[in-house]
Structure 1
């Protein structure tokens, strides 16, 4: 325990949290408590978990425009990005740094109860053009102008492309031109739907890897 023998403005004597105070040859001093530093040292497991958490946060960055929409309904007392991290952390990312494995087919781009579309097909129709077709699944709880959201991810570039709201449910087909740097590269694809005002969202579906 530390004491202030000369009052609040006087020198410190003893331990106070991470510091030790005293007087040497009449000169007041303070120094860091080395024992406190030792106690704060993290174990290898703690360091590995911190590295994994950083990896997941960094991996999600290219998806931010999509998961901000896809997890907006779950952003209660937290951000949509935090909700997406919580939903995906344990199921998508296994192992510890630097050997973390990503289960792309388990990744959730969105979560909700809006019915999705059926029989989705996606492919390259040219070096930089993605062709998407689907059946609109016009059932209760859907409207013709529900909006599609497509995310495309390149492992090589660690980058995303795609769209949110460019086409509605009833159209049943759409061609999308990707960024030039992604042309000719294998791409992971996920599809979701949102209502026009984005109050409702569907669960995302993983469409696999598309190659030119």
Structure 2
């Protein structure tokens, strides 16, 4: 049985006949009950489903980054992870069905107008990854020394992500973290992006490339 919200003219929650009422971010929705598919999915539908699985499998473990990097995108209609999915869908998936893969160089962890880290790089030595950037603040571009810097590394062979225990700041110019022992062989893909202190402004993420660990 459905429950009426905000009086007789409002939305409702729950099941009422052949429809279900729900709401998200103060927006009321009505949808029909799920009907069991009577015919197999078309090839186009299977292609879309496989693209969805391929990309979401990568994005879900880094949802905490996406909440920052895409947290200001169309917030009335999309969650950050869905905004990131839509942003990356056309540019990051490569290959042909059913063997889709990801072009890591085209994956974006964030998107925004904050000025980034200028000349950036990443290096590996003695079991550590070290990310560097230009520490200079710029009044013209409204960047400050306490802007926050987030770094991310992905080990595709192990299907694991790595990052620093806490973000650094623009003024620091670099950050390092120790790679877990079981991840110290192979390659990792690396990204970086910045936000202001309040996380209301964010830069575009930068793909820093592959790093050979062994």
**Secondary structure in structure 1 of the residue aligned to 2:133:** strand
Runs of 4+ in 1 over 2 A off after TM superposition: 94-98, 163-166, 178-181
The two structures, once aligned, show a CA RMSD in angstroms of: 2.0
| Structure 1 unaligned regions, length at least 5 | 1-16, 18-35
Larger radius of gyration: 1
Correspondence 1:50 to 2:55: no
Report how many residues are paired: 176
- Return the offset for 1:164: 7.5
Q: Structure 1 residues 196, 164: closer, same or farther in 2, change over 3 A?
A: farther
Corresponding residue number in structure 1 for 2:79:
79
Q: How far is the alpha carbon of 1:75 from its aligned partner?
A: 4.5
* 1:155 corresponding residue in structure 2: 156
Unaligned 5+ runs, structure 2: 1-17, 19-35
TM-score scaled to structure 2, two decimals?
0.75
- Judged with a 3 Å threshold, the aligned counterparts in structure 2 of structure 1 residues 195 and 164 are, in CA distance, closer, same or farther, namely farther
User: What pairs with 1:165-184 in structure 2 (closer than 5 Å)?
Assistant: 165-184=166-185
Residues 56-205 of structure 1 mapped to structure 2, 5 A cutoff: 56-76=55-75, 77-127=77-127, 129-139=128-138, 140=140, 141-163=142-164, 165-205=166-206
Instruction: Tell me how far 1:180 sits from its aligned partner.
Output: 2.9
**Contact in 1 for aligned 2:131/2:151 (Cα 8 Å):** no
Q: Using structure 1 for the length normalisation, give the TM-score.
A: 0.76
Q: Higher mean Cα deviation, 95-104 or 146-155?
A: 95-104
Q: What's the secondary structure of 1:148's corresponding residue?
A: strand
| Other structure's SS at 2:167 match | strand
Could you say which structure has the higher strand fraction? 1
CA distance in 1, matches of 2:164, 2:189: 14
